[in-house]
Amino acid sequence: MRKLRAVLIEDETMFRQLILLTLGKVKDLQVVGEFGLGKAGLEFCLREKPDILVVDLMLPDINGMEIAREVRRALPEMKILVITAHPSERLPADLMALGVNGYVDKTEPIEYVLNAVETVRSGGMFFASRVRAKGGASASFLGLRAPLEVPLTQREQEIARLVAAGQMSKEIAAKLNLSVRTVEKHRANIMEKVGVREVASLTRWCIQAGLVDT
């Protein structure tokens, strides 16, 4: 795996250093730029075209949402991970609408940043926050993105649809004539394959992949 070139934009010096230490644990990753202000970081990204951008939502000079919007417009292949200390119920859906690949609440363990980078690097999505999103992604957003590649078997797709519909493992097992243990194993494999950690993220992935309707 080639070196992943990353840029960090975070105005809080101590937290920026903490994230840099965390990113240093990612194998084959090199931080090629770190910035305390958004405009300088954005200009660097547009010029140097790194592989991944880790950006704070609230910056002194420009909003992280605007940075994500500009980067996504100019560099559609770049991975974007947003961090914030000000989560809201609408934020995950709003970020997904911009094409952001991941989102981590600063109140979560710092290891979540490490997990998020690894997940988005492999093509998954990582959304971690103590605030639950309402309604998920909008239909208009889904129409703007190409369907995701589906790395699941037919049985896994079937189980993923049922999980996204809110059914528990016991219900799924009864419906598909499987043991609960088998269903749990399938669920774990599904989560690992698509790079998510919880049902809400799996549901968003299923919608984007076209496995379920909004």
Q: What is the pLDDT of residue 145?
A: 35
Q: Output the CA torsion sign for 150, 98, 74, 106.
A: negative
Query: Does position 66 have pLDDT exceeding 60, yes or no?
Result: yes
Q: What is the pLDDT of residue 184?
A: 93
CA within 13 Å, CB half, 7? 28
Does the 154-208 domain belong in CATH 1.10.10.10?
yes
- Structure confidence by residue, pLDDT tens digits, 19-65: 999 999 888 999 999 999 999 999 999 999 999 999 999 999 999 99
Most confident segment among 89-103, 173-187, 189-203? 173-187
- Structure confidence by residue, pLDDT tens digits, 79-131: 999 998 877 767 777 787 788 888 888 888 888 888 888 888 877 778 775 44
Q: What is the pLDDT of residue 136?
A: 41
Q: What is the pLDDT of residue 9?
A: 97
pTM: 0.62
DSSP the chain: -PPEEEEEE-S-HHHHHHHHHHHTTSTTEEEEEEESSHHHHHHHHHHH--SEEEEES--SSS-HHHHHHHHHHH-TTSEEEEEES---SSHHHHHHHTT--EEEETTS-THHHHHHHHHHHTT--EEE-SSPPSS-S-HHHHTTSPPPP----HHHHHHHHHHHTT--HHHHHHHHT--HHHHHHHHHHHHHHHT-SSHHHHHHHHHHTTSS--
Tokens of 96: 């997904």
Q: What is the mean pLDDT of the segment spanning 165-193? A: 91
Q: What is the pLDDT of residue 213?
A: 61
Q: Which of 22, 13, 4 minimizes the C-alpha distance to 108?
A: 22
Tokens of 167: 């059914």
User: What is the Cα–Cα distance from 70 to 46, expressed in whole angstroms?
Assistant: 9
Q: What is the pLDDT of residue 31?
A: 95
Does the 4-139 domain belong in CATH 3.40.50.2300?
yes
Q: What is the pLDDT of residue 137?
A: 36
**Quick check: do 4-139 and 154-208 share a fold?**
no
- Structure confidence by residue, pLDDT tens digits, 133-157: 334 433 222 222 334 456 788 899 8
List the domain boundaries for the chain. 4-139, 154-208
Tokens of 137: 């992604």
Mean pLDDT of the chain: 82
Q: What is the pLDDT of residue 87?
A: 74
User: What is the Cα–Cα distance from 13 to 146, expressed in whole angstroms?
Assistant: 38
* 185/119: higher pLDDT: 185
Query: Does position 191 have pLDDT exceeding 50, yes or no?
Result: yes
Q: What is the pLDDT of residue 78?
A: 92
- Neighbouring CB atoms inside 10 A of 138's CB total 15
